[in-house]
Amino acid sequence: MDDTTELNAWRSRLSALWPDCGALRVLNGEHDTNLADGQRVYKVAPATNETDVIDLQWQALQHVRAKSVPVPRPVATSSGEPLAYVDDSEQQRTVWAQEWIEATPLAKCSPCDGELLEALGGAISHLHDALEDFEHPALERDLRWRIESTPTLAERSKHLQQHPKRERIDQILSEHSGPALKRLAQLPTQALHYDLNDHNLLYRCKPGAKPTLAAIIDFGDMMRGARIIDLSIAATYLLPKSAHPLRSLRAFVGGYHQQSKLSLGELELLWPLMLTRMVSSMVIAWEDECRGNDDPYRQISQAAIHQFLEGALDMPSNEVLRHLAAACDLDDPDQATLDWIADPGLAPKSLFKASLANAPVLDLSITGAHATDNPVSPELSEVAQAVDALAPAGKPVLGRYREPRLIYGAPFYLSTTHGASERRTIHIALDVFLPEGTEVHAPYDATVLSAEVCDAEFDYGGLIVLAHEPIPGIRFYTLYGHLQHASARALAPGDSIKAGEAFARLGAPAENGGWPPHIHFQVSTTEAPGSEWPGVVDVNDLDYWIRRFPDPSRLAGLMDTRALSPITNEEALRKQRAAHAPGNLRLSYGDDPVTIVRGWRALLFDATGRTYLDAYNNVPHVGHTHPHVRASVDSQMRWVNTNTRYLQPIHSQYCEALLEHFPASLNRVFLVCSGSEANELAVRLARAATRATDMIALRAGYHGHTVTAIDLSDYKAGGPGGNGVPDWVHLIDNPDTFTGIHRDENAAERYAAQVDDVLDRLDERALAGFIAETFPSVGGQVVPPPGYLSGVYSRVRKAGGVCIADEVQTGLGRLGHYFWGFEHQAVTPDIVVLGKPMGNGYPLAAVVTTDAIATAFDNGMEFFATFGGSSVACAAGKAVLEVLREERLQENAAEVGTYLKSGLEQLATLYPVLSEVRGEGLFLGIVMVDAEGRPAAHLTRYIVQRMREQRVLIGSDGAHHNVLKIRPPLVFSEADADHLLSTLDAILQESALRSS
Among 301, 487, 676, 940, binds ligand PMP (CB under 6 A): 676
- Residue 915 within binding range of ligand PMP, rule CB under 6 A: no
- Residues in Cβ contact with 160 at an 8 Å cutoff, skipping those fewer than 6 apart: 154, 166, 169, 283, 286
Minimum distance of ligand PMP from residue 39's CB (angstroms): 53
967 binds ligand PMP (CB under 6 A): no
Tell me how far apart the 2 most distant CA atoms of the chain are, in Å: 105
* Contact window for ligand PMP (CB under 6 A) among 68-76, 351-359, 669-677, 719-727: 669-677
Contact 796, 802 (CB under 8 A): yes
C-alpha angle 689-692-695 in degrees, rounded to nearest 5: 100
CA distance 633 to 251: 46
**Residue 683: exposure state from Cβ atoms within 10 A (0-12, 13-18, ≥19):** buried
The only residue of 484, 487, 674, 940 in contact with ligand PMP, by rule CB under 6 A: 674
Minimum CB separation of residue 674 from ligand PMP in Å reads 4
Q: How far is the CB of 669 from ligand PMP (least distance, A)?
A: 17
Region near ligand PMP per CB under 6 A, out of 52-60, 277-285, 493-501, 699-707: 699-707
Among 371-379, 547-555, 688-696, 806-814, which window interacts with ligand PMP (CB under 6 A)? Answer: 806-814
d(C-alpha 613, C-alpha 347), whole Å: 47
Q: What is the 3-state secondary structure (H, E, C) of 76-92?
A: CCCCCCCCEEEECCCCE
Judged by CB under 6 A, the stretch of 93-101, 670-678, 896-904, 928-936 that binds ligand PMP is 670-678
Q: In what order do the strands lie in the sheet with 212-216?
A: 104-105, 201-204, 212-216
Closest distance between ligand PMP and the C-beta of residue 715, in Å? 10
- Measured from each CB, the residue nearest to ligand PMP is 675
Distances from the Cα of 677 to the Cα of 559, 645, 716, 722, 835, angstroms: 56, 19, 17, 20, 9
Residue number, 713 or 737, with CB nearest to ligand PMP: 713
Q: Is 920 in the site for ligand PMP (CB under 6 A)?
A: no
d(CA 712, CA 765): 18
Choose, by CB under 6 A, the member of 400, 554, 703, 965 that binds ligand PMP: 703
Nearer to ligand PMP, 867 or 911 (CB): 867
Phi-psi region of 812 (alpha: psi -120 to 50; beta: other; left: phi over 0): left
Cβ closer to ligand PMP: 125 or 777? 777
CB of 655 to ligand PMP, least distance (A): 19
Rounded to the nearest 5°, which phi and psi values hold at 464? Answer: -130, 140
User: Are residues 448 and 497 in contact, defined by beta-carbon separation less than 8 angstroms?
Assistant: yes
685 and 879 in contact (C-beta within 8 Å)? no
* Number of C-beta neighbours around residue 60 at 10 A: 24
CB atoms within 10 A of CB 102: 9
Q: How far is the CB of 236 from ligand PMP (least distance, A)?
A: 51
Choose the stretch contacting ligand PMP; rule: CB under 6 A; options: 129-137, 494-502, 571-579, 673-681.
673-681
State how beta strands 603-605 and 611-614 pair.
Answer: antiparallel
Q: Which range of residues in 328-336, 668-676, 683-691, 816-824 is near ligand PMP by CB under 6 A? A: 668-676
Provide, rounded to whole angstroms, the least separation between the CB of residue 820 and ligand PMP: 13
Cβ distance to ligand PMP smaller for residue 676 or 690 = 676
- State the CB neighbour count (10 A cutoff) for residue 257: 23
Q: Measured from the CB of residue 704, what is the shortest distance to ligand PMP in angstroms?
A: 4
Report, in Å, the least distance between residue 809 CB and ligand PMP. Answer: 5
Beta carbon nearer to ligand PMP, 476 or 819: 819
Residue 853: CB minimum distance to ligand PMP, A: 19
d(CA 147, CA 185): 11
Nearer to ligand PMP, 277 or 965 (CB): 965
# binding residues, ligand PMP (CB under 6 A): 14
Stretch near ligand PMP under the rule CB under 6 A, chosen from 245-253, 333-341, 563-571, 671-679: 671-679
Q: Which of 184, 124, 175, 122 is nearest to 149 (CA)?
A: 184
Site string for ligand PMP, 218-237 (x = CB under 6 A): --------------------
CB of 617 to ligand PMP, least distance (A): 11
702 lies in the binding site for ligand PMP (CB under 6 A): yes
Instruction: Report, in Å, the least distance between residue 679 CB and ligand PMP.
Output: 6
Q: Is 840 in the site for ligand PMP (CB under 6 A)?
A: no
Secondary structure (DSSP) of 142-167: --TT-GGGHHHHHHH-SSGGG-TTHH
Dihedral of the CA atoms 711, 714, 716, 720 (nearest 10)? 120
Q: Applying CB under 6 A, does 806 fall inside the site for ligand PMP?
A: yes
Closest approach of ligand PMP to the CB of residue 667, in Å: 23
Assess 835 for contact with ligand PMP (CB under 6 A): yes
Write the CB contacts of 308 (distance below 8 Å, at least 6 apart in sequence). Answer: 239, 240, 245, 278
- Name the CA radius of gyration of the chain, rounded: 35
Does residue 704 belong to the site contacting ligand PMP (CB under 6 A)?
yes
Nearest distance in Å: CB 965, ligand PMP: 11
Q: Are 675 and 833 in contact (CB under 8 A)?
A: yes
Shortest reach from residue 619's CB to ligand PMP, in Å: 9
Task: Tell me the C-alpha distance between 611 and 420, whole Å.
Answer: 9
Of 317, 553, 809, 956, the one binding ligand PMP (CB under 6 A) is 809
617 binds ligand PMP (CB under 6 A): no
Select from 98, 280, 679, 828 the one that contacts ligand PMP (CB under 6 A).
679
Q: Which is nearer to ligand PMP, 462 or 877 (CB)?
A: 877
Q: Decide whether 321 or 815 has the Cβ nearer to ligand PMP.
A: 815
Contacts with ligand PMP, 762-791, as mask; x by CB under 6 A: -----------x---x--------------
Nearer to ligand PMP, 254 or 835 (CB): 835
Q: Which of 25, 23, 14, 192 has the alpha carbon at shortest distance from 97?
A: 14
- Provide the mask over 716-755, with x wherever binding to ligand PMP is found by CB under 6 A and - wherever it is not: ----------------------------------------
958 scored as a contact of ligand PMP (CB under 6 A): no
Contact 280, 153 (CB under 8 A): yes
Which CB sits closer to ligand PMP, 462 or 675?
675
- 614-653 burial string, b = 16+ CB within 10 Å, else e? bbbbbbbbbbbbbebbeebbeebeeeebebbeeebebbee
Per CB under 6 A, does 808 bind ligand PMP? Answer: yes
Separation between Cα atoms, residue 358 and residue 806, nearest integer Å: 59
Does residue 943 contact residue 589 with C-beta atoms inside 8 Å?
A: no
Sole binder of ligand PMP in the list 368, 378, 675, 816 (CB under 6 A): 675
Report the nearest approach of ligand PMP to the CB of residue 678 (Å).
7
- The nearest distance, CB 738 to ligand PMP, in angstroms, is 20
Between the CA of residue 191 and those of 127, 188, 257, 716, 804, what are the distances in Å? 10, 11, 19, 58, 74
Give the residue with the Cβ less far from ligand PMP, 449 or 815: 815
- Cβ neighbors of 294 (< 8 A, separation 6 or more) are 288
Q: Contact positions toward ligand PMP, by CB under 6 A?
A: 674-676, 679, 702-705, 773, 777, 806, 808-809, 835
